[in-house]
Amino acid sequence: MALTGKSAVVTGAAGGIGKGLSEVLLRNGAKVALLDVNESAGQSLMESLNQKHGTGSALFLKCDVESEEQLRAAFQKAVETFGGIDILCNNAGVMNETAWEKTVSINLMSVIRASYIALEHMSKLNGGRGGVIVQTASMAGLGPFPSCPVYTATKSGVVGFTRAMAVASEVSGYGIRFNALCPTFVQTEMITNISGKLGQFTHLTGMAVKLTEKLGILSVSEVAESLLELVTDETKNGEALMILTQGKAYMQFPSLSK
Ligand SMILES: NC(=O)C1=CN([C@@H]2O[C@H](COP(=O)(O)OP(=O)(O)OC[C@H]3O[C@@H](n4cnc5c(N)ncnc54)[C@H](O)[C@@H]3O)[C@@H](O)[C@H]2O)C=CC1
Ligand SMILES: CC/C=C\C[C@H](O)C(=O)/C=C/C=C/C=C\C=C\[C@@H](O)C/C=C\CCC(=O)O
């Protein structure tokens, strides 16, 4: 799928990985609706992206992904502005083991919520053009990360939801592919002050820090380049792409359906 003339919605787009995903989509010819709760960062990012990629190529929409109402309004605005949606990046996420219910709400429930709203606009069964939904999961969704069990659970949930939806979409004829990015640590705000985010697992901070030293830290642009692969390669559906500093690999899961 070529990106020229396509339109995308990216959640958590104002900073970190979401900003990188938005930039790579714009560089390759897509228009992008930038959804984020951070209004000042989102507005100034929109202005700089429109200067770089052309007026009207980026649209900031203030949106808390926990709110169904705000998500619906943002998708509606994106459709009205760009004429449809071809790509959704469910990227907004937090890591906070103290406010663990909020972590579940943002990282898992909101990914499901936004995917279902996107289906209403993108599914060929609803008159949409089809397309692709890519979730920002994590390596934590593939292997247990003992310093943050709830964060791990949300990312495992995202991987499971993505793989199940990929098959549901295929057999139902939605015309939408579902894939997940599973990066190791990435240099963003999220990996600052780790100990302050681990709640009752603060004593396991050293384990998390050692893991960052052992595995290394990716740049945002390395993750963004992997998004392109999952969006443009139409054979990719139901994939979890593990991204490490040493390279990347599509995960193999046991097949029990045959
Ligand atoms: N940084 C890392 O090491 C890794 C991060 N990830 C995942 O990547 C995604 C992005 O994380 P980062 O860019 O690192 O984090 P970040 O903290 O740098 O950026 C997150 C963005 O999401 C926005 N956001 C937070 N809550 C929101 C909400 N309720 N509604 C709308 N926007 C909201 C924030 O305002 C911010 O702009 C997350 O899902 C995270 O779990 C995955 C693997 C590694
Ligand atoms: C404290 C976490 C901070 C940020 C989370 C970040 O956003 C994220 O998603 C990073 C994920 C990185 C995961 C990397 C590898 C995970 C591997 C685990 O399966 C193994 C974990 C521990 C092994 C313990 C040990 O042998 O030392």
For 122-163, the DSSP string reads: H-GGGT---EEEEEE--GGGTS--TT-HHHHHHHHHHHHHHH
Whether the per-residue pLDDT at 121 is higher than 90: the answer is yes
Domain presence at residue 182: yes
Domain presence at residue 158: yes
What pLDDT, on the 0 to 100 scale, is given for residue 20?
Answer: 98
Distance CA 128, CA 176 (A): 10
Ligand nearest to the CA of 93: 1
Cβ-based neighbours of 152, under 8 Å, separated by 6 or more: 140, 141, 144, 145
pLDDT category of residue 89 using cuts at 50, 70 and 90: very high
Residues tagged active-site:
151
What pLDDT, on the 0 to 100 scale, is given for residue 258?
Answer: 61
Distance CA 94, CA 135 (A): 14
Give the ligand 1 atom nearest the CA of 181: 42
> Total structural domains in the chain?
1
Domain presence at residue 117: yes
pTM of the model: 0.98
Phi-psi region of 210 (alpha: psi -120 to 50; beta: other; left: phi over 0): alpha
Domain presence at residue 253: no
Domain presence at residue 159: yes
Distance CA 221, CA 134 (A): 16
Q: Which of 211, 217, 220, 248 to mutate to test the pocket of ligand 2 (most atoms within 8 A of CB)?
A: 211
What pLDDT, on the 0 to 100 scale, is given for residue 255?
Answer: 83
Domain presence at residue 125: yes
Domain presence at residue 1: no
Mean pLDDT of the chain: 97
What pLDDT, on the 0 to 100 scale, is given for residue 1?
Answer: 85
Residues 192-197: what's their mean pLDDT? Answer: 96
Q: Which domain holds residue 197?
A: 7-242
CATH number of residue 119's parent domain: 3.40.50.720
Distance CA 60, CA 195 (A): 32
Q: Which of 9, 10, 22, 36 to mutate to test the pocket of ligand 1 (most atoms within 8 A of CB)?
A: 36
pLDDT by residue (tens digit) across 129-169?
999 999 999 999 999 999 999 999 999 999 999 999 999 99
With a 6 A CB cut-off, is 144 part of the ligand 2 pocket?
yes
Domain presence at residue 255: no
ipTM (interface predicted TM): 0.96
